[in-house]
Structure 1
Amino acid sequence: MRFPGTDGDRYPYQEKVVSYLTAYAARLDAEIRTRCRVAAVRRTGDGFEITLESGGRLSARVVVTASGAFGNPHRSLLPGLEHFTGQVLHAADYRSPDALTGRRVVVVGAGNSAVQIAAELAQTARVPLASRVPVKFTPQHLLGRDLHFWLTRTHLDAAPLGRLLSRPPAQPVLDDGRCRTALTAGQPDRRPLFTGVDGAKLLWSDGQREEVDTVLFATGYRPDLPYLATLTGGLDAEARPRHREGLSLSVAGPGFVGLEWQRGLSSNSLRGVGRDADRVARRLVAYLAGR
């Protein structure tokens, strides 16, 4: 289903995305149950039993997990942070700079969310941007067209590179020049990660001790799939699904759609998830036919 009402060089507002998804759902020949959280998925003799948090149960011959890769805000394990007496937030909690105006806020991360939040906060607060690695930028426009246009035109968007990766790679900051300019001007101030915590003070590698009001993590997300822990070998030690191109490596029958780098760069985006869904559906149909 094509996305309506946009040209190739503009990003739609959230209201248009919601309207698109609502219209898409309305045309599906499927029963859709909302507010119906899954508690556990267990293997049975001829398929799976799905237990709901409400206590109800469903049965199925195959199960596809399509809940995305952004359900679990990730906070890096940093030395002494459990003893920090200030406020600890994640980018998922951030809405606007208003609540943090005039405060000392350390933003942790080196990706788009970290840099954009830090640059916005730096206009009304004192903000260091702390990360393990330097911030890398890539221009949002090349030869007059948006980078995503070129990713689609060159087919890099759909290239099956996911099978070559043990974990999703770090992404450079997609920037139109404003964030790079702000970082160059020290607004925010880029630093290596702090090395320790003493109450409300952070300890930096140069020996400086600095009192801080808030540490804000912009360190990404992980899939939120605790209901698959009941499938032996379904998740790895970091609670990531064990799969290859969307099919489970441990149990026959489960599939995945919408994971970061499931098959390629666009696997967890609206423009790429359809390709993966088609591939996973065909392979699951072949599995059922074989049984």
Structure 2
Amino acid sequence: MSAVYDAIVIGGGQAGLASGYHLKRKGLRFVVLEANDQAAGSWPRYYDSLKLFSPARFSSLPGMSLPGSPNGYPLKQEVIRYLRDYTSRFQLPVKTNQRVTEVRKNGDLFTIATSTGEVYRTKSVISATGAFHNPYTPDIKGREDFKGRILHSSEYRNPEPFIGQRVVVVGRGNSAIQIGVELAEVSRTSLAVLRPVQFVKQKVWGQDLHFWIKLVGFDTFPFWRFGKKVPVSGSVIDLGQYEEKLAAGKPDQFPMFTSFYADGVVWQNGTKEPVDAVIFATGYRPSLTYLGSTGALDAEGRPLQVAGVSSTVPGLYYVGLEGQRSFASATLRGVGPDARFVVKRLLRHITQ
């Protein structure tokens, strides 16, 4: 019979590592199960030029600061190295290549099965896989007829494959703007948006925007305590003259197209335009199918939870959900406080 853990963390990205840090501080027996061959979450799959939208001093996991200038904006590879070093420094028990396929609740214990055939037993579970494993692409009329290339921003790496092409990027968030601006240097690129892009300044009165967000308490304001949904910002942080470049038409922006046709897209005014590629920067949806048999999810597959504590399955917790407890949840700067809160609740559960 396999040993029984106090807790098992599913997912070895930033949310899972922050959870592991707090579990270790409490002296609990736990393991982190990571589906891939390294504990870096979704970061290796992001586009090459990605950099954080918040400076390093506001973007660290608990117990260890991001290296480099506190006021710098770390790049993708710097974050990946940081996550590797974090795992090593705190000697977190991460098991890689352990993709969880099913979680079952048997009495007071959970049984967790992985794709390799391993089976684990535990008193509690922290689901830390977040929402970045299930890219969302809207179903648009004529898509099956389009002969060009359609991809999600999660599949985009760099502009090289699109040199000289006609490209449409769907979306108006930070990733859509970063990708669109980068592509506009080598291709004819437009943004397709439901509403015009709105910007906020990176620096206000000489300080990064996140300094003021943190100072006034908005970043960690506990909306959940008042039964309120955490608001989602509809503005883009202007890290690199993005507003100026959009104003110059590099890229330009148009109201969202209505449909595809064989060679391109049909804009709202009825104009057909040939297009080589369409990139959807349209976000993600939860992918927690491994919890399907536990009763933890609603009809649309979303977790039934309050502040990271399951509403229907005692002993089940979450870290890394967008808007879980605050505006910062699901970010590098937000998963630490969320993990601390969840581990306190978890400790009460396993010791009662």
- The answer to whether the superposition gives a TM-score over 0.5 is yes
How has the CA–CA distance of structure 1 residues 81 and 169 changed in structure 2, closer, same or farther, with 3 Å as cutoff?
Answer: farther
Shift of the alpha carbon at 1:177?
Answer: 5.8
- Pairing 1:229–2:258 present: no
* Deviation string, structure 1 residues 50-94 (Cα, Å, up to 9, x no partner): 111112211111110112221222112222323322110111111
The one-letter code sitting in structure 2 at the alignment partner of 1:80 is G
- Pairing 1:18–2:80 present: yes
Shift of the alpha carbon at 1:18?
Answer: 2.9
Tell me the residue number matched to 1:282: 344
The one-letter code sitting in structure 1 at the alignment partner of 2:65 is F
Distance 1:15 1:215 in 2: 26
Distance 1:3 1:41 in 2: 34
| Secondary structure in structure 2 of the residue aligned to 1:250 | coil
Tell me the residue number matched to 1:96: 158
Q: Which runs of 5+ in 1 are unaligned?
A: none
Distance 1:84 1:217 in 2: 14
Distance 1:118 1:38 in 2: 35
- Pairing 1:119–2:173 present: no
How has the CA–CA distance of structure 1 residues 174 and 13 changed in structure 2, closer, same or farther, with 3 Å as cutoff?
Answer: same
* Deviation string, structure 1 residues 173-195 (Cα, Å, up to 9, x no partner): 10046111111122212111111
Tell me the residue number matched to 2:277: 214
Shift of the alpha carbon at 1:38?
Answer: 0.3
* Deviation string, structure 1 residues 101-142 (Cα, Å, up to 9, x no partner): 111111100101111211221122111210112211111111
Tell me the residue number matched to 2:261: 198
- Pairing 1:238–2:300 present: yes
Shift of the alpha carbon at 1:167?
Answer: 7.3
| Secondary structure in structure 1 of the residue aligned to 2:94 | coil
More displaced 10-residue stretch of structure 1: 165-174 or 85-94 = 165-174
The one-letter code sitting in structure 2 at the alignment partner of 1:60 is T
Distance 1:53 1:253 in 2: 23
| Secondary structure in structure 1 of the residue aligned to 2:212 | helix
Distance 2:123 2:151 in 1: 41
Check the 8 A contact 2:230/2:326 in 1, yes or no. Answer: no
Check the 8 A contact 1:257/1:273 in 2, yes or no. Answer: yes
Tell me the residue number matched to 1:264: 326
Check the 8 A contact 2:163/2:187 in 1, yes or no. Answer: yes
| Secondary structure in structure 2 of the residue aligned to 1:73 | coil
- Pairing 1:70–2:127 present: no
Tell me the residue number matched to 2:18: none
More displaced 10-residue stretch of structure 1: 10-19 or 60-69 = 10-19
Check the 8 A contact 2:265/2:275 in 1, yes or no. Answer: yes
Check the 8 A contact 2:141/2:259 in 1, yes or no. Answer: yes
Shift of the alpha carbon at 1:33?
Answer: 0.5
More displaced 10-residue stretch of structure 1: 236-245 or 109-118 = 236-245
- Aligned residues between the structures: 289
Distance 1:168 1:82 in 2: 35
- Aligned-residue CA RMSD (Å): 2.0
The one-letter code sitting in structure 2 at the alignment partner of 1:102 is G
More displaced 10-residue stretch of structure 1: 79-88 or 45-54 = 79-88
- Pairing 1:184–2:247 present: yes
* Deviation string, structure 1 residues 156-185 (Cα, Å, up to 9, x no partner): 211112565557625311004611111112
- Pairing 1:34–2:96 present: yes
Tell me the residue number matched to 2:53: none
Shift of the alpha carbon at 1:237?
Answer: 3.4
Check the 8 A contact 2:64/2:86 in 1, yes or no. Answer: no
Distance 1:213 1:136 in 2: 27
* Deviation string, structure 1 residues 146-165 (Cα, Å, up to 9, x no partner): 11122222222111125655
